[in-house]
Structure 1
Amino acid sequence: MWKSIAIFLALLGVASAGMTYDDHKVLRIVPSSTEEVSMLRDELPVAFRVDWWREPSYPGIPVDVRVSPGDLTRVEEMLIGAGMSHEVFVEDVQKLIDSSYSPNSVRGDEFDYGVYHTLPEIEDWMKTLVADYPDLVELVEVGKSFEGRTITAVKFTGKGGNSTEKPGLWLDGGIHAREWISPAVNVYMLGKLLADYGVDDETTDLIDSLEWYILPVFNVDGYSFTWNGDRMWRKTRSTYSSKFCVGVDPNRNWDWHWGEAGTSKNPCADDFQGPSAFSEVEVKSVSDFIKSQKNINGYVNFHSYSQLWMAPWGYTSDLPDDFDAQDAVGKAATEAIAAVHGTEFDHGNIAEIIYPASGSSADWTYGEFF
C-alpha cells in the first residue's frame, strides 16, 4: 500500500561556520531556451568556481548560483554577452548566514524547535525521547560514518499488534550536509508525532498502524562540518577518492543506475558520484539497514530549496508503472501544504520537474523494493 516517494522541501536554512562568504552573491538567472540551459550547465562551471543553489534544468525555470566577488564581474559579462538577463537574489551570503545563526540553540531544559541544532544537541534530544516515551521509542544504530560518528535513527510504533507485521515507513533528512532545514523538519515532526500520541486521534492511529523509522541526520560528518568548517558544504567527508578534494555526493552514490545522467566524475564537484556505487559507508549502512528491516515499504527523503514533491525516476524521464498513483499522493500533499500557510509546491517526476539525477536514494529504494 505504501510507495516510495521522495520529498524535496524547498526551504533554505543557514547559519555560521568557519569558512566565510563575505560579499559572495547569489544570482538568479532565468534561461529562455535549451541552449541557454546548456550554456549555464556546461560552460559556466568550467570557466568559474560556482555553487548551484538551484541547478539549470529547463527553459523558464529560475537558476540560482552563488558567485564569489572575484568572479562576479566576469560572470556577469558572460551572461550579458550571451543575452541572458539576471538579478542579484542574495546581496551578501555571509550576512544571510550571520543573520540566521542562533548561538542559543538550547535554552535551559527546553529543546527549542525554532532554531537549528548541532549534531550532539540532536543526539542528546533523541536520548530524552527514550526517557520520555519508553513504551514507544527506541534508538537504533544504523552504522558508523567515515569519521567514526554514529548514525542514529529513532524507531517507534504504538500499541497493538506485532510491530514487525506493521508496514514500516522510513524518513530521513540531512543527506546533503548544508540543507539544515531538512534535519530540523524531521526533528520537529518526530517531536510533534510523539507529543500528540494519545492526545490526537489521527496521530495516534498513524503511530499505532505503522512502524516508524526517522533518521534526522543522514550525513553526520558533513553536517558536523557545516557547523565548524564550511556552512555551504554538501558532500560526505571521505578522503579516499582524491588527494585534493574531499567527499562524495551521498545522493548520487546509490547502486541504482549509478554514474549515469546528472552526476559528475570530478572528485571536486559537489555532485561527485564517488569511485563506485555504495563507496560511501554512510550510504551503504543506510541501504543495508533498510534492506534488513523486512517490513519497510515506504521511503521519504527530505531536501531543501526548490519547493518540490518528487517521485522516481531520477535517472530517466521514463515513468514507472504506478507513477499516476504516486503523483496523486504528491498532488494531495502539495494541496494540503498550501492549505496551511499558502506555500506552493510543485509535484512530479524527479528527472522532469527538476533535473536528471542518477544513483539517488529515491531511485534505489523504489527500484529495490517495488
Structure 2
Amino acid sequence: MHEQPNRVQDFKDTMLFQQYNCFMFRELEQFDEELARYRASRQGKAAIPYDDFPRHAQVNEYIESIAQRYPDIVTLVTAGNSYDGRPIKYLKISTTNFEDPSKPIYFMDAMIHAREWVTTPVTLYAIHRLVEDLRNEDRDLLENIDWIIYPMVNPDGYEYSHDSERLWRRTRSTNPVDPSTCLGVDGNRNFDIAFNTVGVSSNPCSTTYPGVTPFSDVETVYIRDILHANLDRIQLYMNIHSHGNWILYGYGFNETLPPNAAQIHHVGATMGATIDALKLDLAPFYRVGNSAFLLYATSGSAQDYAQSIGVPFSYTLELPGYGFLFEAPPQFIGQINAETWEGIAASARLARLYYRARINN
C-alpha cells in the first residue's frame, strides 16, 4: 500500500484553505441560483429528466415508464439496493431480447462519483434517442447493437450531494473496520485491479479512499456482475464522469497499454472528433489517450477492471465543465447531451465493426 502525502491536511492548516472554502461557497450559491432560475423558466413544460438534474426517484420513474411503454425492446432490471436501501435500476435495450450473439453490447454507466451531476442526463438522453426519438439515421444502432444503460451507480452519494454536501464524491457505506469514521469509499477506486496501490489515500475521510477490500461496496459489485454476466458480448464499456473533455483508457495504474491499444485509440479518437465537431467554442477539444499518461495514475478503476477481464474497448469519458468544474450550469445540459450522443453513436458503430471482424475470424 502506498499512502499519498496528506496534502489536504496541510492545506487546511493555511489561510488559503479558508479563502478556498469561501470561494466555493459563493460558487455553489451561484449554481443553486442558476438552477432555480432554469427550473422556473421551464415551469409549465413537460418534465423531461434528461434536461435537468433529476433526483434518484425521478430517474427510476423515467426508466420504468420507458420499459412499460416499449416492452418489445426495453427490459427494466433491478441490480439490487444501494447501501442505504435505494433500488438501483437500469435498462437493457434490444430488438432481439439480448439473444443474438452476432450483436455486440454497448454498456454505459454514470454517477459513480456523486458530485458529477451532468453525467446521468447523458445516459437518459441516450435512452431517449434509442427508444423514444429513434431517427432513421440511428436505426442501425438499435437493430445491430444491444445496449445496457445504467444511469446512476451511486444513488446514496448523489442524494447526499443534493441534500447535504454538493461536492460529495463517495458512496455512503459504513467503514467495517471503524464505523465511527467517515462514510463511503471512492467507487472508482474500489474495483479489483491493482487495488489500493496508486492514486488513493488510506485516510477513510479522503475523497480517494478505496475501501478496505475490492468490491467492498454493493454499488461496484453490481457493475462487476453485469460485466461478467455479459462478458462474451460486451464490446465497449463507457464509465461516464465529469469534468474535463477527456476520453481515457487503460491501464491507469502504470501507463502500460492493452494489446489492442491502437484499436482502442482509434475508437476513442473517432468519438472525440465527432464531439469536437459539435462542441461550443468555450470548450477545449477532447484529448484521447492513456489515463495515467494524460491525467494521473489511479488504481482500482472501473475502466481498468473492465479492460483487464476482457472487454475490448473500455473508457472513462470526462464530460465538459466549461470552467465550472463539477457545477456545469443546467443551461449546458442540452448541449452536452446532444454532442455526447453523437460521439456515443460514432464509437458504437466503429466498435461494432471490430466486433464483427473478431467473431468472423
TM-score grouping bracket, smaller chain normalisation: 0.7 to 0.9
Answer whether contact 1:252 1:273 (CA < 8 A) is retained: yes
Tell me, what secondary structure is at the counterpart of 2:78?
Answer: strand
Answer whether contact 1:236 1:249 (CA < 8 A) is retained: yes
Answer whether contact 2:73 2:93 (CA < 8 A) is retained: yes
Matched, 1:246 2:246: no
Aligned to 1:236: 171
Which of 210, 213, 220 lines up with 1:273 in the alignment?
Answer: 210
Answer whether contact 1:314 1:356 (CA < 8 A) is retained: yes
Using the TM superposition, give the Cα deviation of residue 90 of structure 1 relative to its aligned residue in structure 2, in angstroms.
6.7
Aligned to 1:55: none
Using the TM superposition, give the Cα deviation of residue 351 of structure 1 relative to its aligned residue in structure 2, in angstroms.
0.5
Answer whether contact 1:176 1:234 (CA < 8 A) is retained: yes
Aligned to 1:170: 107
Answer whether contact 2:201 2:209 (CA < 8 A) is retained: yes
Answer whether contact 2:98 2:146 (CA < 8 A) is retained: no
Matched, 1:140 2:77: yes
Unaligned residue ranges in structure 2 (runs of 5+) = 312-361
Answer whether contact 1:145 1:221 (CA < 8 A) is retained: yes
Deviations 1:71-98 (A, max 9, x none): 238x9xxxxxxxxxxxx99782223331
Shift in alpha-carbon separation, 1:174–1:160, aligned structure 2, 3 A: closer
Pairing of 1:254-265 with structure 2 (within 5 A): 254-265=191-202
Shift in alpha-carbon separation, 1:234–1:204, aligned structure 2, 3 A: same
Pairing of 1:1-370 with structure 2 (within 5 A): 42=5, 44-49=7-12, 71-72=18-19, 92-102=26-36, 109-158=46-95, 162-163=99-100, 165-197=102-134, 199-201=135-137, 203-241=138-176, 242=178, 243-293=180-230, 294-342=232-280, 343=283, 344-370=285-311
Answer whether contact 1:177 1:222 (CA < 8 A) is retained: yes
Q: Letter of the aligned partner of 1:244 in structure 2? A: T
Using the TM superposition, give the Cα deviation of residue 160 of structure 1 relative to its aligned residue in structure 2, in angstroms.
9.2
Deviations 1:176-230 (A, max 9, x none): 0010011111111211221333x323x1111111110000000111111112121
Shift in alpha-carbon separation, 1:299–1:49, aligned structure 2, 3 A: farther
Shift in alpha-carbon separation, 1:99–1:149, aligned structure 2, 3 A: same
Aligned to 2:358: none
Deviations 1:309-363 (A, max 9, x none): 1111111111222112111222221111111125411111010111001000000
Whole-angstrom distance in 2 between the partners of 1:161 and 1:238 = 33
Whole-angstrom distance in 2 between the partners of 1:359 and 1:335 = 28
Shift in alpha-carbon separation, 1:112–1:236, aligned structure 2, 3 A: closer
Whole-angstrom distance in 2 between the partners of 1:151 and 1:49 = 36
Deviations 1:254-292 (A, max 9, x none): 001111111111101000010011111111122113212
* Segment of structure 1 superposing worse, 328-337 or 345-354: 328-337
Answer whether contact 1:221 1:237 (CA < 8 A) is retained: yes
Tell me, what secondary structure is at the counterpart of 1:278?
Answer: coil
Answer whether contact 1:164 1:211 (CA < 8 A) is retained: no
Larger helix proportion, structure 1 or 2? 2
* Segment of structure 1 superposing worse, 222-231 or 212-221: 222-231
Aligned residues: 299
Q: Letter of the aligned partner of 2:256 in structure 1? A: D
Whole-angstrom distance in 1 between the partners of 2:28 and 2:173 = 26
Deviations 1:10-63 (A, max 9, x none): xxxxxxxxxxxxxxxxxxxxxxxxxxxxxxx8464231249xxxxxxxxxxxxx
Using the TM superposition, give the Cα deviation of residue 175 of structure 1 relative to its aligned residue in structure 2, in angstroms.
0.4
Shift in alpha-carbon separation, 1:70–1:340, aligned structure 2, 3 A: closer
Q: Letter of the aligned partner of 1:200 in structure 2? A: N
Whole-angstrom distance in 1 between the partners of 2:98 and 2:144 = 9
Q: Give the % identical residues.
A: 28
Deviations 1:128-164 (A, max 9, x none): 1113322111111112211111111111112599345
Q: Which has the higher contact order (CA 8 A, sep 6+)?
A: 1
Shift in alpha-carbon separation, 1:272–1:193, aligned structure 2, 3 A: same
Q: Letter of the aligned partner of 1:297 in structure 2? A: Q
TM, length-normalised to structure 2: 0.76
Shift in alpha-carbon separation, 1:289–1:43, aligned structure 2, 3 A: closer
Shift in alpha-carbon separation, 1:101–1:160, aligned structure 2, 3 A: closer
Whole-angstrom distance in 2 between the partners of 1:258 and 1:97 = 35
Q: Letter of the aligned partner of 1:336 in structure 2? A: T
Answer whether contact 1:256 1:358 (CA < 8 A) is retained: yes
Whole-angstrom distance in 2 between the partners of 1:340 and 1:333 = 12
Using the TM superposition, give the Cα deviation of residue 106 of structure 1 relative to its aligned residue in structure 2, in angstroms.
8.1
Whole-angstrom distance in 2 between the partners of 1:68 and 1:369 = 48
